[in-house]
Amino acid sequence: MPNTTADVVIVGGGVMGCAIAYYLAKEGVKPVVLERSDIGGEASGSTGGGVRQSARNLKEMPLAMESIRMYGELHEELGMDMEYVREGNLRLCTNEQEMADMGKSVEKQQAAGLDLRMLDRKEVLEINPYIGEKVVGASYCPTDGHVNPFLVTYAYFLKAKSLGARFHTQEEVVAIKLQKGRVTAVVTDKQVIETDVVVNAAGVAGRKVANLVGLDIPLRPVFSEAMITEPYPPLFPQMFGHARGLFYGRQTVHGPFFWGGFVGTEQYIHREGKPLFHFIGPAISRAVLDYFPVLKDIHVIRMWSGLIAAMADGIPVLGFTEEVPGFIFCTGFSGHGFGLAPVIGLLLSQLVLDCTTSIPIGDFCYARFNQGGNEDCACQGSDICTTQAAVCPNKRQLVRNME
Ligand SMILES: Cc1cc2nc3c(=O)[nH]c(=O)nc-3n(C[C@H](O)[C@H](O)[C@H](O)COP(=O)(O)OP(=O)(O)OC[C@H]3O[C@@H](n4cnc5c(N)ncnc54)[C@H](O)[C@@H]3O)c2cc1C
């Protein structure tokens, strides 16, 4: 097997792997990205492209707010129009109980600094006149929106590549070598790459990749189905969702409507990470039509499904681990990672480069599962850095000098 070397190896060419690769390459470090299928071939190519801050775990709020700011500038940064629409997100309620529950959640999100409010039915109709009679009110976050996920993933991929990141598709990571507990190499089905830093951005396979170094995380695949309709004249620009998360959707900038939902049938309908059947679509469509009767004659032209990397506590695992120096987690985005991609790409690149992040990520550490939670466990410029030795400043300077 051929042997090569890399400063950083990223497992997974989804939006996270591509974004991390871009922000690293921008700083002069040329990572190797290993992708077992194609760029954006799994969750990042199945996603709804909703880009929201609202209805998140409050721990994610600072990240989501920064990510939305970054999305506003991304077309300039990456040199591509990614069909980003920032026209708000409506989460629809159908009864007083849902309104009360949503109201409590909105108060907490407001306290976390998010511009978000509750609307009654009349106010909802002023924003979106096509909403059906079932809806009694909604939460509304005006700075949420949606984006074309293929373009975002590809824009990061292309820009990273142009800056020197190396991408290997159709190449699977099958082992990670350790020496005295530290990462020393990544083994694929085609080659061995010597490296002392590996980023696990393997999405729903993040648990399997963690298992390669003897770590485990409570991540399980959750099946989610999505579909797209024929094009329709522009009706409304907001992202919409259900108060209890049963479905979500939007109209794309080219006219087709996208919608999807959650069903919980994952235990028997996927093989090798790929879902096999598509049969929940009609149920989700009937629900959506109940809320948007105006769409009753529109035809669904394509359906697909994907797997969500769902963590037991609904938030991702990010950062170094004390157990395996050189191994970095970036997985478990639990069905709402796409909105975070820019900030995650940036923060993980900072972690690799400088052992610190401009927004704290301690809440997302691996140690929360085996040490009962530890705010300081993720690397934040502490002593842990010296044991982790990411891409040390000297090495980075060396790489830059060689350019
Ligand atoms: C149907 C659906 C709808 C969604 N809608 C939204 C939404 O509206 N808004 C939102 O914010 N989020 C949404 N999400 C979630 C979002 O898509 C994900 O959080 C995000 O795409 C995760 O990106 P990722 O790069 O971590 O994972 P992925 O895109 O899954 O990338 C991981 C990559 O790793 C590769 N890989 C795995 N193991 C190996 C290995 N051993 N060797 C090499 N490569 C490997 C895989 O092939 C894969 O391409 C949705 C997800 C689904 C499935």
**What structural domains does the chain harbor?**
3-45+150-218+314-401 (3.50.50.60), 89-142 (no CATH), 222-311 (3.30.9.10)
Q: Mention every residue, 6+ apart, whose C-beta is less than 8 A from residue 117.
A: 106, 110, 139, 140
Classify 209 as helix, strand or coil: helix
Residue 50 CB–ligand 1 contact under 6 Å: yes
Give the pLDDT score at 224: 83
Does residue 212 carry a pLDDT above 90? yes
Pair 8, 197: CB distance under 8 Å? yes
Q: Note the pLDDT tens digit of each residue in 136-189.
A: 999 999 999 999 999 999 999 999 999 999 999 999 999 999 999 999 999 999
Residue 13 CB–ligand 1 contact under 6 Å: yes
Query: How many whole angstroms from 305 Cα to the centroid of ligand 1?
Result: 12
Give the pLDDT score at 245: 81
CA distance 48 to 61: 20
Percentage of the chain lying above the pLDDT 70 cut: 87
- Residue 113's pLDDT band (cuts 50, 70, 90): very high
Pair 89, 145: CB distance under 8 Å? yes
| Residue in this structure with the two tokens 């999100």, named with its chain if needed | 109
CA distance 125 to 158: 41
Give the pLDDT score at 269: 54
Ligand 1 binding pocket mutation candidate from 47, 172, 327, 333 (most atoms within 8 A of CB): 47
Residue 42 CB–ligand 1 contact under 6 Å: yes
Highest mean pLDDT among 123-132, 270-279, 286-295: 123-132
Interior/surface letters 100-119, b for 16+ CB within 10 angstroms, e for the rest: eebeebbeebeebebebebb
CA distance 164 to 116: 41
Name the residue among 144, 283, 140 with its Cα closest to residue 224: 283
Query: How many whole angstroms from 258 Cα to the centroid of ligand 1?
Result: 18
Residue 284 CB–ligand 1 contact under 6 Å: no
| Residue in this structure with the two tokens 């999505």, named with its chain if needed | 226
The average pLDDT across 11-32 equals 97
